[in-house]
Chains A and B, each alone.
Chain A
């Protein structure tokens, strides 16, 4: 376990099983070959979990947006596009967990470390505004800024200089329930 590095605000899921959960194994290259698949997966996950909420349309829209950011992240930043990746969406009562697990190279891990540290330390809306001004990737900052999601990751050596990155967005269920 000592080889595992924690980045940002990594939400530890409780020991008890989630109230509702869906997960999917995929091969990142399939997303590159048909980019619409990112949206299909996000919509499917969101639709699945939306039945847990009174305002299903609102839940579907928010969850789809958040899941889509992590799906696109997997597509873009997997070091080996043929190595399986996993996506998970879970309802833990007060918290909704969106998780991706994929293999990344040191360059991406470095960028992720920087961005997650910045989001954990500062004002997510300010980070978002700065990234927007710099015309850089907005995905994770948007999730943190718009939905008060806590973002964190674990990085585990996977051999050949690569790492398995488990990226988590922990979203307050109230963000979905109160809109």
Chain B
């Protein structure tokens, strides 16, 4: 199987991504979205700023969003610049990154017809490429996620991408159907220069790739 990767630039592409995300998030988590307002307790979430699309033929199979600023980790996860700085220090890259330059991968959704084909790992890998995560940036940013522990562990074991746990993510109603006691939600930091394998960092987008190149084959 081959996937065509591209960043959503047109209004049609953005709408296609938002429709897919809204349908899946509403069905599974009861979430709705808005550009103007957000309220995690009312289950209204803000939209990401950019989208990465993976198409199988003409069909949008997987989509992944990116916050260019105002990440969940800082807004709702209450992670501070100093906490990020401490991780940069530990990694020996203090000064190479500005702890305030953060982006966040979010809202990964597989279209229903493409479930069970293990496409999520493929787009997670692609989301770590410079062409996506550094787009429109003046200097390379850091990457954050907030997700349940099994996802973070999956990213580590499957792709070799190191997700550094920052702290537990506070509880909000919007995540009541996503997180659980046995699978808690945390904030994570990825320092691209040291945590992401070059094969993913250097992936060119747009481009067409076999699933195994993206780490998306069945385990």
Show the binding face of A for B, using Cβ within 8 Å.
29, 31-36, 75-76, 81-82
A-B contact count (CB 8 A): 34
Known: A33-B18, A35-B44. A81 touches B34 (CB 8 A): no
Asked if A75 and B32 make an inter-chain contact with CB atoms under 8 angstroms apart, the answer reads yes
Please give me the residue from chain B that is nearest to A72 by CB atom: B32
Asked if A29 and B19 make an inter-chain contact with CB atoms under 8 angstroms apart, the answer reads yes
Please give me the residue from chain B that is nearest to A38 by CB atom: B32
Chosen A-B contacts, 6 in total, with CB atoms closer than 8 Å, are A31-B32, A32-B32, A33-B15, A35-B33, A35-B37, A75-B32
Instruction: Give B7-34 interface residues, CB cut-off 8 Å to A.
Output: 15, 18-19, 22-23, 26, 30, 32-34
Please give me the residue from chain B that is nearest to A31 by CB atom: B32
Residues of chain B lying within 8 A (CB to CB) of residue A36: 34-37
Show the binding face of B for A, using Cβ within 8 Å.
15, 18-19, 22-23, 26, 30, 32-37, 44
Residues of chain A lying within 8 A (CB to CB) of residue B36: 34, 36
Asked if B22 and A33 make an inter-chain contact with CB atoms under 8 angstroms apart, the answer reads yes
Shortest B51–chain A CB gap in Å is: 12
Residues of chain A lying within 8 A (CB to CB) of residue B37: 35-36
Q: Which of A29, A31, A34, A75 contacts B35 (CB 8 A)?
A: A34
Please give me the residue from chain A that is nearest to B14 by CB atom: A33
Shortest B129–chain A CB gap in Å is: 26
Looking at chain A's contact residues, the main secondary structure is: helix
Asked if B23 and A32 make an inter-chain contact with CB atoms under 8 angstroms apart, the answer reads yes
Asked if B26 and A32 make an inter-chain contact with CB atoms under 8 angstroms apart, the answer reads yes
Bound complex: CA of A68 vs CA of B175, how far in Å? 25
Question: What 5 new A-B contacts, CB under 8 Å, besides A32-B32, A76-B26?
Answer: A32-B22, A34-B33, A34-B36, A35-B34, A75-B32
Bound complex: CA of A74 vs CA of B33, how far in Å? 15
Q: Which of A29, A34, A76, A82 contacts B34 (CB 8 A)?
A: A34
Residues of chain B lying within 8 A (CB to CB) of residue A75: 32
Shortest B29–chain A CB gap in Å is: 11
Shortest B26–chain A CB gap in Å is: 5
Residues of chain B lying within 8 A (CB to CB) of residue A34: 33-36
Residues of chain A lying within 8 A (CB to CB) of residue B44: 35
Residues of chain A lying within 8 A (CB to CB) of residue B30: 76
Shortest B55–chain A CB gap in Å is: 19
